[in-house]
Amino acid sequence: MVLEALDAVGQILDGLGRRVREVFLLSQLDGLAYAEIAEQLGLTVNMVQKDMLKAYRHCYAAVYGQ
Protein backbone atom coordinates (compact mmCIF):
# COMPACT_ATOMS: atom_id res chain seq x y z
CA MET A 1 0.00 0.00 0.00
CA VAL A 2 2.88 2.38 0.79
CA LEU A 3 4.54 1.64 -2.55
CA GLU A 4 1.27 2.37 -4.36
CA ALA A 5 0.97 5.70 -2.57
CA LEU A 6 4.56 6.62 -3.42
CA ASP A 7 3.98 5.68 -7.04
CA ALA A 8 0.87 7.88 -7.16
CA VAL A 9 2.79 10.82 -5.67
CA GLY A 10 5.60 10.25 -8.15
CA GLN A 11 3.18 10.33 -11.06
CA ILE A 12 1.70 13.61 -9.84
CA LEU A 13 5.14 15.16 -9.43
CA ASP A 14 6.15 13.98 -12.92
CA GLY A 15 3.67 16.52 -14.26
CA LEU A 16 5.69 19.40 -12.82
CA GLY A 17 8.58 21.14 -14.50
CA ARG A 18 12.05 20.19 -13.31
CA ARG A 19 12.68 23.33 -11.25
CA VAL A 20 9.19 23.42 -9.73
CA ARG A 21 9.52 19.76 -8.73
CA GLU A 22 12.94 20.41 -7.19
CA VAL A 23 11.67 23.42 -5.24
CA PHE A 24 8.67 21.44 -4.02
CA LEU A 25 10.77 18.47 -2.89
CA LEU A 26 13.32 20.67 -1.12
CA SER A 27 10.49 22.31 0.77
CA GLN A 28 8.34 19.30 1.54
CA LEU A 29 10.90 16.50 1.94
CA ASP A 30 14.00 18.34 3.10
CA GLY A 31 12.12 20.92 5.14
CA LEU A 32 14.08 23.85 3.77
CA ALA A 33 12.75 27.38 4.15
CA TYR A 34 12.06 29.34 0.99
CA ALA A 35 15.13 31.53 1.58
CA GLU A 36 17.30 28.42 1.89
CA ILE A 37 15.87 26.97 -1.32
CA ALA A 38 16.41 30.27 -3.12
CA GLU A 39 20.04 30.40 -2.01
CA GLN A 40 20.70 26.75 -2.90
CA LEU A 41 19.19 27.04 -6.38
CA GLY A 42 20.28 30.60 -7.18
CA LEU A 43 16.71 31.91 -7.28
CA THR A 44 14.88 34.74 -5.60
CA VAL A 45 12.52 33.99 -2.74
CA ASN A 46 9.73 35.35 -4.94
CA MET A 47 10.48 32.72 -7.61
CA VAL A 48 10.46 29.98 -4.96
CA GLN A 49 7.06 31.23 -3.76
CA LYS A 50 5.71 31.20 -7.32
CA ASP A 51 7.08 27.71 -7.97
CA MET A 52 5.50 26.42 -4.75
CA LEU A 53 2.16 27.93 -5.76
CA LYS A 54 2.42 26.16 -9.14
CA ALA A 55 3.23 22.89 -7.37
CA TYR A 56 0.33 23.22 -4.91
CA ARG A 57 -2.11 24.07 -7.69
CA HIS A 58 -0.90 21.13 -9.76
CA CYS A 59 -1.23 18.72 -6.83
CA TYR A 60 -4.68 20.03 -5.95
CA ALA A 61 -5.87 19.63 -9.54
CA ALA A 62 -4.42 16.11 -9.71
CA VAL A 63 -6.17 15.06 -6.51
CA TYR A 64 -9.47 16.92 -6.87
CA GLY A 65 -9.72 17.04 -10.67
CA GLN A 66 -10.04 20.79 -11.01
Residues 43-60: tens digit of each pLDDT: 999 999 999 999 999 989
Residues 14-24 have a mean pLDDT of 92
Domains of the chain: 2-64 (1.10.10.10)
Say what the pTM is.
0.85
Could you tell me which of 45, 46, 25 has the C-alpha nearest to residue 36? Answer: 45
